Amino acid sequence: QVQLVESGGGLVQAGGSLRLTCVVSGRTFNTYVVGWFRRVPGKEREFVSAIRWTVSRTYYADSVKGRFTISRDNNKNTVYLQMNSLKPEDSAVYYCAADDRAKFLTDQYMDVTEYDYWGQGTQVTVSS
């Protein structure tokens, strides 16, 4: 089992920045990927970004490329999502997710069903 705890959400003005943190605990040695997803009321959870746990591979949704950066600190079992140039449409509950199954297609990293472990979420609100 893997446990995930997110933090760092809050209220920020458009154009501002936030850094989300996801602490991964439990059976982390099997972790293959950690991702960030977000959900707004009435919509499906959508992919934001993902990072492989042991190699330098990252993935981003088109809507956040160039504005968000995902990184990890394996010594701290922590994944970060630096969010810059925030827009009101970035407002959502952001979830950290992890999975220990190998993935071979980019689409798999973006698929919510490919992640078995989820955090509770942290609210991000961007005011206009």
Residue 101 burial (10 A CB sphere; 0-12, 13-18, 19+): exposed
CA distance 15 to 38: 19
The stretch 82-92 carries a mean pLDDT of 98
Q: Which residue has the higher pLDDT, 9 or 28?
A: 9
pLDDT in tens, 26-82: 988 788 999 999 999 999 999 999 999 998 899 999 999 999 999 999 999 999 999
From the list 80, 118, 81, the residue with the least C-alpha distance to 99 is 118
The structure tokens listed for 127 are 């005011």
The mean pLDDT of the chain is 95
pLDDT, residue 30, reads 82
DSSP 8-state assignment for residue 104 = -
Beta strands in the chain (DSSP E): 2-7, 10-13, 18-26, 33-39, 46-52, 58-60, 68-73, 78-83, 92-99, 117-118, 122-127
Angle at 67 between CA 123 and CA 60, to 5 degrees: 85
CA 95 to chain centre: 6
